[in-house]
Amino acid sequence: MLLIGNGRLITRDGRRPYLEDGAVVTSGEDILAVGETPEMRRRYPQAEFVDARGGLIMPGLINAHTHFYSALARGLVLKDYHPRDFRGILEGLWWKLDAKLTLEATRASARASLIDCIRQGVTAVFDHHASFGEIPGSLSVIAREAEIIGVRSSLCYEVSDRGGGEKCRQAIMENAGFIAQCRSSGSPMLHAMFGLHALFTLSDRTLEACAKANGGQAGYHVHLSESGDDPRDAMEHYGIRPAQRLQRFGMLGPDSLLIHCVHVDESEMDLIRDSGAWVINNPESNMSNAVGCSPVLRMFEKRIPVGLGTDAYTSDMLQSYRAVLTAQRHQAGRPDVGWNEAAAALFVNNPRVASRAFGRPLGILKEGAAADVIVMDYRPYTPLNADNADGHLYFGVSGRQCRTAVTGGVVRMRDGMLAGIDEEKANADIMESARKLWRSLYR
């Protein structure tokens, strides 16, 4: 039993959204009580006290789309890599990199990414994995790391035709195998989805094989119309829009995550809304790849649930929160739009999508919710209350201010020190894997 207290508490629970000196009491994997620190200490004297030291106590942040596998690319400079468009980025960097990823490099990438998540207060993640150098067993390797570091992880493998028939078959099997493994393990820290790269690298035959292998067991985690390549390919080869292709194979629905949706038209948005699928926006990645700006505000108007990811551009969800608002305002040419939508994406919709996936309330601090709690080192110098907490988070807090993180009722980081991991040794191992990977790419 933990008592995380002595801090300003943001609960995200409408009944009691803010306590000036609040505490969260956990029992096992769940939250037992939320209240004033002195009262909680009186009621639960046996609980281990985790001191927030006057910081901000809040629900762990959720990242609805990332790629752990890209971690070892940090600082990598490839010769003759001067991409002119999105295809150039994929072919010149990411497809080269994932073709070299072995299980060992996958493990190191996952470990680096997961440590970064905990360090930035991200306690639940939806990952999209590719390691075409070594596919079988890769999701199990990541799952093991997720359990060691203690980040709730929804995992999938990105099926694509781009590596040829045998690799495609292995990718399909990797998804199906992990979905079965996840079901039998029953771990509250793990969730499985069926991963698809992007429709312009997936034939109808492959989509059919995926639908068959999945058998309706898991939702799909798919990049949809990130660039103009998807609609161009779908119209040219199939005479329909990309979202219609997904619908044709039964891949839209309330368990599916549609990543990006930059180039979706009105009819596709209607189709997506009617299916109940989620759209996940990744603003910095879209801007950096120069693919365009997703019509996030239009999707909110249409009541499509839009969540927020990072696409591995960063692990910092508060940075992504700032980026979605600034991008949408810039695109609209209006300074008076997007505030509520940006906050809803991160603090309402991401918790909803994660709660659905992991089968328990996440992103909220209340009795019975999952015990995923973070403490940010933040001292406000202006009044902070229930009505303006988002303003403080938006302008005053970034992920690196996370000092303490608890997931599933277990302390994963306390006062900036990771628990149960020798971080220096982990870093040295990751560095060695990165060197090996870079050598293979320079050859």
Positions that interact with Zn ion (CB under 5 A): 311
Least separation, in Å, of the C-beta of 69 and Zn ion? 10
State the helix-helix crossing angle for 103-119 and 423-442, rounded to 10 degrees: 130
CA distance 403 to 411: 11
- Residues with Cβ within 8 Å of 440's Cβ and at least 6 positions away in sequence, in order, are 100
Least separation, in Å, of the C-beta of 432 and Zn ion? 27
For Zn ion, give the closer residue by CB, 58 or 222.
222
Q: Which of 249, 262, 294 is nearest to 159 (CA)?
A: 249
For Zn ion, give the closer residue by CB, 311 or 372.
311
Give the max Cα distance, the chain. 68
Least separation, in Å, of the C-beta of 223 and Zn ion? 6
Tokens of 357: 């996936």
For Zn ion, give the closer residue by CB, 120 or 289.
289
CA distances from 304 to 2, 51, 255, 307, 322 (A): 38, 40, 14, 10, 21
For Zn ion, give the closer residue by CB, 58 or 112.
112
Least separation, in Å, of the C-beta of 256 and Zn ion? 15
What letter represents residue 251's amino acid? M
Phi-psi region of 53 (alpha: psi -120 to 50; beta: other; left: phi over 0): left
Strand partners of residue 223: 198, 259
CA distance 88 to 92: 5
Least separation, in Å, of the C-beta of 187 and Zn ion? 24
What letter represents residue 170's amino acid? Q
CA distance 320 to 374: 18
For Zn ion, give the closer residue by CB, 99 or 337.
99
For Zn ion, give the closer residue by CB, 145 or 311.
311
Least separation, in Å, of the C-beta of 259 and Zn ion? 5
Least separation, in Å, of the C-beta of 311 and Zn ion? 4
Residue ranges with strand state E in 227-382 = 257-260, 278-281, 306-308, 373-376
Q: What residue number has its CB nearest to Zn ion? A: 311
Least separation, in Å, of the C-beta of 309 and Zn ion? 7
For Zn ion, give the closer residue by CB, 229 or 311.
311
Least separation, in Å, of the C-beta of 156 and Zn ion? 11
For Zn ion, give the closer residue by CB, 226 or 255.
226
For Zn ion, give the closer residue by CB, 230 or 311.
311
For Zn ion, give the closer residue by CB, 52 or 296.
296
CA distances from 41 to 16, 25, 69, 376, 408 (A): 19, 9, 43, 21, 21
Tokens of 12: 């995200």
Least separation, in Å, of the C-beta of 408 and Zn ion? 26
Helix, strand, or coil here: 110? helix
CA distances from 310 to 131, 154, 270, 283 (A): 19, 15, 25, 7
What letter represents residue 89's amino acid? I
